[in-house]
Amino acid sequence: MSNIKFDFSEKTALITGAGQGIGLQIVKDFISSGAHVIAWEKSKDNITELKKNLATDKLTVQEVDVSETKSCQKSAESLQEPIDFLVNNAGILRDKSFAKMTWEDYSSVIETNLNGVFRVTQSLLPHFNSENFKRIVNLSSVVALYGNFGQSNYVAAKAGVIGLTKVWARELAKKSFTVNAIAPGCIQTDIFKNTDSKILDSLISKIPVGRMGLTKDISQTCLFLCSKEASYINGAVLEVTGGLTV
């Protein structure tokens, strides 16, 4: 899949969960499109890899735990420039059936995947540019739309993200924001690295386009939602699933 050419020169994008998978791809594509990227990442190992593999003056990396209010506020206050785009991507998994899921399993996912979106966005709101061009993109999931076995915590969080997206789309539009969500389907990341081939084949058989999604399928959707071409899209939830839910 070739890059769609967006020009984000003179723009600054802040990405959470930027050290691997979809978040890393979003970072790379924003940089390729000319933006300065501020990467918020919790894992020290991922931060080391980011700095080593993306050695560019267009990247600033900060160690941030989105599940901690003070961490978000401190990092937001340290920003040296206003931001134009925010992509809330950070998330964790703690999958178990409902009967076996502990409160810690549940609350840790809610704290990062849902409350993290709230605290990150609230801490950064005063740090957006003063122009009439601001974008917030929240990463939800297709499972938020129809549920998934063993993911009470994840589904609840991602459904909540859709709710926040729609409220903010209404509240922030008058301040020149658009706020949208992306609901990825089965995306080819490390999550599936050790999955049995028969299980993968069964999964792919349910996807009309006949393949799993690529991280670039999500990153290019994200860049589009941040572009001027998407200026009339607000409060939307874009399913990027290959037709999984058709």
C-alpha atoms less than 13 angstroms from C-alpha of 151 in its C-beta half-sphere: 18
Residue tagged active-site, from 106, 146, 154, 232: 154
* Residue 140 contacts residue 187 (beta carbons within 8 Å): no
C-alpha to C-alpha distance for 19 and 215, rounded to whole angstroms: 13
Rounded Cα distance, 116 and 69, in Å: 8
154 belongs to the catalytic site: yes
> Edge to edge, what strands does the sheet with 237-240 contain?
59-63, 36-41, 12-16, 85-88, 134-139, 177-184, 237-240
What is the rounded distance in angstroms from the CA atom of residue 75 to the CA atom of residue 200? 39
Residues marked as catalytic: 154
